[in-house]
Amino acid sequence: MKVAAQIAAGLAIWVASAGAAQARDLCAAALAAARGKACVANPYGVALASTRVEAARVAAAVRAGEARFVLHFGRAAPRYAIVQDFRPEELRALARAGFRALPWLTATQFETAAL
């Protein structure tokens, strides 16, 4: 039983480190295309914003969508970048880097668009 627990603990550490490495890779690729943003990675993509706190907030909101995507379509979500306070050239650069780039409107942008 002790060996099984050690194997399980080792596997958990390996999965966590692989996830951390994947997150670093996703953020590195996204930030090469959209410099000056803060990045928080989810399993299938990233959230980019002007601050890490805001990127984390967007990433948390999008994370539930990843799970719904997998359940609905029966496959992994495509690699994506959700970009807050975006410039059109950032979205194009992220698309060239292999991300499905989607804008996330700030409260000010949303209010302006509603007028």
Strand (E) or helix (H) holding 49: strand 45-49
pLDDT in tens, 21-38: 676 889 999 999 999 999
- Starting at the edge strand found earlier in the chain, the sheet holding 45-49 runs 38-41, 45-49, 80-84, 100-104
Q: Identify the CA nearest to 29 among candidates 84, 101, 109.
A: 101
- The structural domain count of the chain equals 1
Rounded Cα distance between 28 and 26, Å, is: 6
- Is the pLDDT at 7 greater than 80? The verdict is no
Inter-residue contact 47 to 37 (CB < 8 Å): no
What is the residue range of 61's domain?
Answer: 2-114
Mean pLDDT over all residues of the chain? Answer: 83
pLDDT in tens, 86-100: 889 999 999 999 999
